[in-house]
């Protein structure tokens, strides 16, 4: 394949989600003439239908939960109620603000934004279906950042009102009296927190025998004990929702032969990559279940063609997409950079939160490490006791031979922040011995780590 050096742009980024946006920003900052192509709203999933609106709803739910539990401080609050429409308006207002800020940034930085659906004609040539016709542009390099959409299993019919995905869920157009959530990944778990706090009776249906399959088993068990059982949330494990028919009521036919009736169903069964109709087949680029294979430098099998974010299927998180975007641009510039997925943290913003990074205990064992484990509890942490938030666990996974910290799994208040320290430690491949010498402010929630490092060091 010949390389075209006489092009309209240095870089074309297809998809203006957080991955594509951060790649375009970094490229422009580094002096590359960059075009960013987007066929829907600027900001993609995270800003419009994912992280941002869901965290705004969780913030409302968390505030309500706090107000409902003030007795331990001797504070009584009466007549607590919420206005669904205002909670939803807050979330959509945050979306609007962040999307507008992002659009202004692209303008200020001089990134060319092209609105329309892009398709690759050649590795360095893109055809865009815009409102005013077809536009063809070329670039030295192209980054595919086309993201993902909710995956809906066969047999489930979506009507967007009574049976819907997170795309509609984040708009909070209703708080149904009864809702069934299909899937117990972090999205299902976060919505169970939101809906149960807002007064819905929640049932979670999980096809696997274990709830929260993505988490370390200790965290999964603790999540069930803290986030599910005390909250009037019913769970069904090892049960498949074979057929779901929208309506009032919604009917769910289960693999057990039972039929459930409910007011609404939120389908949270994972995400599928946006890689169709991108021209990949014509270019001979094979996908794996639709995901675009990339190396650790974010290069595809075709020279000058890169892919980042959810469409690569690697840790489908906003900050992963952003980090991959920066890595891709640095490699385009000739600076060798690669991704270190082990040090990327993840969180579920439930109340309390779950934060984790690195390997789970089973993963570390499967990789052949001589695994050491320590567990500390928020029940023994002075700050957590003072705040009345003593539910939670901190589990460290380390290599007994080298002392390297392999993973950290935390369920407790501010877990998403606490785990960040372990992310930095794992990025540097720090050893437990040196971590045990760190000094943590007293009294802080981060002392769960202080105690864990010291116990692991022995
Ligand atoms: C409910 C929910 C909550 C979430 N919460 C979190 C969280 O708390 N933290 C976190 O890190 N992650 C979270 N995520 C995941 C996060 O949103 C995604 O990992 C992230 O948005 C992926 O970014 P991306 O840039 O790869 O793709 P996307 O954000 O999906 O963006 C891709 C963009 O490409 C555009 N596009 C696609 N095809 C074309 C084409 N042919 N031409 C032009 N444009 C095209 C799309 O319109 C889209 O705007 C959440 C997701 C959901 C659904």
CA of 46 to the centre of ligand 1 (A): 5
> Cα–Cα distance between 188 and 24 in angstroms, integer?
31
> Both 115 and 200 in a single domain?
no
> Both 39 and 78 in a single domain?
yes
CATH number for the domain spanning 44: value is 3.50.50.60
Q: Which of 339, 372, 392 corresponds to the end of one domain? A: 339
Ligand 1 atom nearest to CA at 309: 26
> Both 132 and 234 in a single domain?
no
Can you spell out the DSSP letters for 12-28? EEE--BHHHHHHHHHHH
Which helix H or strand E contains 166, and what residues bound it?
helix 166-169
CB distance 42 to ligand 1 below 6 Å? no
Q: Which of 339, 355, 372 corresponds to the end of one domain? A: 339
CA of 263 to the centre of ligand 1 (A): 28
Q: Whose CA is nearest to atom 35 of ligand 1?
A: 15
Q: What pLDDT tens digit does each residue of the chain (458 aa) get?
A: 456 779 999 999 999 999 999 999 999 999 999 999 999 999 999 999 999 999 999 999 999 999 999 999 999 999 999 999 999 999 999 999 999 999 999 999 999 999 999 999 999 999 999 999 999 999 999 999 999 999 999 999 999 999 999 999 999 999 999 999 999 999 999 999 999 999 999 999 999 999 998 999 999 999 999 999 999 799 999 999 999 999 999 999 999 999 999 999 999 999 999 999 999 999 999 999 999 999 999 999 999 999 999 999 999 999 999 999 999 999 999 999 999 999 999 999 999 999 999 999 999 999 999 999 999 999 999 999 999 999 999 999 999 999 999 999 999 999 999 999 999 999 999 999 999 999 999 999 999 999 999 999 99
What sign has the CA pseudo-torsion 273, 274, 278, 282?
positive
442 catalytic per annotation? yes
What sign has the CA pseudo-torsion 434, 357, 102, 87?
negative
> Both 203 and 288 in a single domain?
no
> Both 365 and 399 in a single domain?
yes
> Cα–Cα distance between 20 and 10 in angstroms, integer?
15
Q: What is the pTM assigned to this prediction?
A: 0.97
Residue count of the chain: 458
Q: Which of 339, 365, 390 corresponds to the end of one domain? A: 339
Q: Whose CA is nearest to atom 8 of ligand 1?
A: 51
Task: List the domain range (segments joined by +) for residue 381.
Answer: 342-457
**Residue 212 has what DSSP assignment?**
S
């Amino acid at each position: 394949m010949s390389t075209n050096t006489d092009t309209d742009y240095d870089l074309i980024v297809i998809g203006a989600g957080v991955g594509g946006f951060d790649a375009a920003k970094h490229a422009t900052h580094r002096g590359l003439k960059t075009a960013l192509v987007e066929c829907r709203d600027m900001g993609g999933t995270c800003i419009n239908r994912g992280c941002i609106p869901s965290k705004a709803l969780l913030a409302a739910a968390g505030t309500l939960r706090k107000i409902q539990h003030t007795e331990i401080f001797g504070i009584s609050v009466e007549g607590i109620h919420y206005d669904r429409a205002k909670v939803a308006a807050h979330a959509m207002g945050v979306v609007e603000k962040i999307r507008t800020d992002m659009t202004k940034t692209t303008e200020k930085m001089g990134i060319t934004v092209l609105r329309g659906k892009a398709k690759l004609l050649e590795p360095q040539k893109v055809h865009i279906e815009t409102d005013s016709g077809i536009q063809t542009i070329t670039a030295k390099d192209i980054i595919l950042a086309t993201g993902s959409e909710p995956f809906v299993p066969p047999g489930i019919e979506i009507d967007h009102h009574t049976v819907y995905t997170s795309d509609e869920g984040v708009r909070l157009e209703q708080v149904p009296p009864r809702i069934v959530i299909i899937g117990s990944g972090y999205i299902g778990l976060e919505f169970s927190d939101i809906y149960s706090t807002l007064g819905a009776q929640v049932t979670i249906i999980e096809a696997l025998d274990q709830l929260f399959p993505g988490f370390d088993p200790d965290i999964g068990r603790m999540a069930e004990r803290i986030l599910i059982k005390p909250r009037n949330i019913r769970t069904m494990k090892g049960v498949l929702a074979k057929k779901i028919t929208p309506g009032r009521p919604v009917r769910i036919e289960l693999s057990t032969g039972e039929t459930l009736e409910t007011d609404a169903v939120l389908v949270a069964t994972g995400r599928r990559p946006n890689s169709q109709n991108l021209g990949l087949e014509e270019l001979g680029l094979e996908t794996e279940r639709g995901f675009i294979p990339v190396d650790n430098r974010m290069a595809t099998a075709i020279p000058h063609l890169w892919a980042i974010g959810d469409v690569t299927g690697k840790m489908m998180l906003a900050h992963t997409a952003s980090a991959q975007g920066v890595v891709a641009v640095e490699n385009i510039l000739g600076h060798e950079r690669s991704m270190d997925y082990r040090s990327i943290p993840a969180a579920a913003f439930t109340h309390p939160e779950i934060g984790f990074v690195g390997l789970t205990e089973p993963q570390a064992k499967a990789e052949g490490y001589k695994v050491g484990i320590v567990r500390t509890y928020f029940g023994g942490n002075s700050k957590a006791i003072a705040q009345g938030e003593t539910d939670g666990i901190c589990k460290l996974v380390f290599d007994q031979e080298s002392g390297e910290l392999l993973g950290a799994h935390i369920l407790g208040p501010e877990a998403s922040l606490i785990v960040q320290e372990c992310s930095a430690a794992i990025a540097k491949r720090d050893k437990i011995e040196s971590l045990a010498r760190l000094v943590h402010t007293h009294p802080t929630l981060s002392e769960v780590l202080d105690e864990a490092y010291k116990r692991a060091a022995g």
